[in-house]
Amino acid sequence: MATMNISLPDSLKAFVDEQVADRGYGSSSEYMRELLRREQDRQQLRGLLLEGATSAPGSPADAAWFDALRGRVRKAARPGRRG
């Protein structure tokens, strides 16, 4: 694991320390890793949403579509099914 040192103003350092204590993190590093993971997830979601917004329209998700989906799920969930 790589190490990164950051400098924070006293007010942000106090905020981080407070979050660590109040939210049950083991250390400030653990808290910062969680924030970075959330930002990664947020950026990935934003990318997927933008990709979807700029893509061509797909087929509608109407009642027939959901009926077919339920059928596929039931078929896949049958006991003893292989593959």
Residue 37 located in a structural domain: yes
Query: To which residue do tokens 């400098």 refer?
Result: 7
Q: Is residue 38 part of a domain?
A: yes
**Residue 76 within a domain:** no
**Per the domain annotation, does 35 fall within a domain?**
yes
Classify residue 47: in a domain, yes or no.
Answer: yes
Compute CA 15 distance to the chain's CA centroid, rounded to the nearest angstrom.
24
Structural domain includes residue 45: yes
Cα–Cα distance for residue pair 13/18, rounded to 1 Å: 9
What global pTM score does this model have? Answer: 0.67
The per-residue pLDDT string of the chain (83 residues; one tens digit each, 9 = 90 and over) reads 899 999 999 999 999 999 999 999 999 999 999 999 999 999 999 999 999 999 999 888 999 999 999 999 999 998 876 65
Question: Is 63 inside any structural domain?
Answer: no
b/e per residue 57-77 (b: at least 16 CB within 10 A): eeeeeeeeeeeeeeeeeeeee
Q: What domain range is 44 assigned to?
A: 10-54
Structural domain count of the chain: 1
**Domain presence at residue 5:** no
